[in-house]
Amino acid sequence: MTDTAPPTLPAGGGIDLSADAYPSDSRYANDDLRPVPLAERRWTTYNFVALWIGMAHCIPSWTLASGLVALGMDWKQAVLTIALANVIVLLPMLLTGHAGPKYGIPFPVLARASFGLRGANLPALIRAAVACCWFGIQTWIGGQGVFVLLGKVFGGWADVPQVGGYPWTLWLCFVLFWVLELAIIYRGMDTLRRFENWAAPFVLVGAVVLLVWIANKAGGFGPLLDEPSKVGWGSDFWKIFFPGLMGMIGFWSTLSLNIPDFTRFGKGQRAQVWGQTLGLPTTMTLFALMSVLVTSGSEKVYGAAIWDPVALAGKTDNVFGLLFALITVFVATISVNIAANVVSPAYDLANLAPKLINFRTGALITGVIGVLVMPWKLTSTPELYIFTWLGVVGGLLGTVAGILIADYWIIRRTVLHLADLYLPSGRYWYSGGWNWNAVTAFAVGGILAVGGSYSTVDAKGVKAGPFPVDGLIPFLKPLADYGWAVGLGSSLILYVALTKARGVRI
């Protein structure tokens, strides 16, 4: 039970915090981590819809369907899997996103309520590490797209000396992407909001133009849409469906944690609920369907299915078309990368040392780490990308999401004592800044979710992935295909049980 009355909500449904609610020199606060004042919570439904359109319309999400088709599904099965995954992941998005408009706090500060002021660094740094890897992946893919299209505009673009096994012009495109992304986010969240507002419709138009262009050349869609499933609807399908579904959920499981980083700027719950509901599942499903239709047209025109939209756009000899495709790839990749993969680690790293790292410094650190990783290996095969990378990441992040949802909705019934989230003497200090109930639930849930991770073997007997074929922990292998659900469910149940058994001051 709470030992003080719950705060009274203003008419707009959000809670404000006075400037003197906690010491200005608190080591757990800075200007970026403080609650957003009510007057500055201005994001509308359209802003959230635009955010999701901008994030969903990128090259990796375009090729999600191709990964499932490559594993044996037909286009209907692939689109269905992607649609269902995004409907499922929407629920934790809305549940964790609720704290944003109500309290104006980012993800790492929300995590303090369940993990403790110091313990919150555990989920925050896990989320930051994943985001840094994604930042590298997206930046590299975007750089490759620009490289390919510029090669069509300027002949001989790739016929240059190589550095590290790649043409130096490719590295130039990669660096150009890197600099522009950080320049936008360095100007702050309001700049991001304005960028997403116009980037979303631009990228959507670009996708439609690609669809109309290939449909005109193909005279209709046929070969790919008529291609039967290689796995049918029997046991072979379900062997691919469940790990594929968890992989598709894992694609946005990152945002299901740190969505408060954005919803904290929302005008109210209506804006974030409708904005996300209209923006995420509809956009991803439509994008997957468009990718299938466009690829079907490419097979009819060129005799082979071309899933990569950059490679397909590069087939045109029209300079205007190439430049339009170039700008579309540029805008699409930047819009998703800075929103999904720079905002979160910037806040997460600021939470690690608020007096040393602010939002801008965290963004720069993210950019540096994104260069140091080798992201191209993570997308080298569909098995590695969907089962290993997305599956393991989804399992771990689902575990964190389960604890956040259990604490905020079941234990606290959405009531937080805002000032205490910044005070070492407050109710969220627990034991030396750590809530060991949350740490225990995370450890157990994480082991159950990813402990059985395994690698598949192809027709030639070659192992596709870094894990043992029998699983890291063999008896947990049956759970590995359901990693996200296992992590979320087990950690949620265990956290509630431990909290009620041991009792906490809420």
First-to-last alpha carbon distance for the chain, in angstroms, is 6
- Give me the half-sphere count of Cα atoms (radius 13 Å) on the Cβ side of residue 341: 29
Nearest to 118 by CA among 127, 126, 104, 108: 108
Q: What is the structure's pLDDT at 288?
A: 84
Average pLDDT over residues 45-56: 87
Q: Is the pLDDT of residue 54 over 70?
A: yes
Q: What is the structure's pLDDT at 458?
A: 67
Share of the chain above pLDDT 90, in %: 25
Q: What is the structure's pLDDT at 114?
A: 95
Contacts of residue 107, defined as CB under 8 A and 6 or more positions apart, other chains included, come to: 96, 124, 127, 257, 258, 259, 260, 261, 344, 347, 348
Residue 421 tokens, joined: 């989230």
3-state secondary structure 110-168: HHHHHHCCCCCHHHHHHHHHHHHHHHHHHHHHHHHHHHHHHHHHCCCCCCCCEECCEEH
In tens, the pLDDT along 272-328 reads 999 999 988 888 888 888 888 888 788 778 877 777 777 777 777 777 777 777 788
CA 370 to chain centre: 15
DSSP 228: P
Q: Is the pLDDT of residue 413 over 90?
A: yes
In tens, the pLDDT along 348-384 reads 888 888 888 888 888 888 888 888 877 666 555 555 5
Q: Is the pLDDT of residue 4 over 50?
A: no
Give the type of residue at 212. V
For the question of whether the overall pTM of this predicted structure is more than 0.85, the answer is no
Q: What is the structure's pLDDT at 378?
A: 58
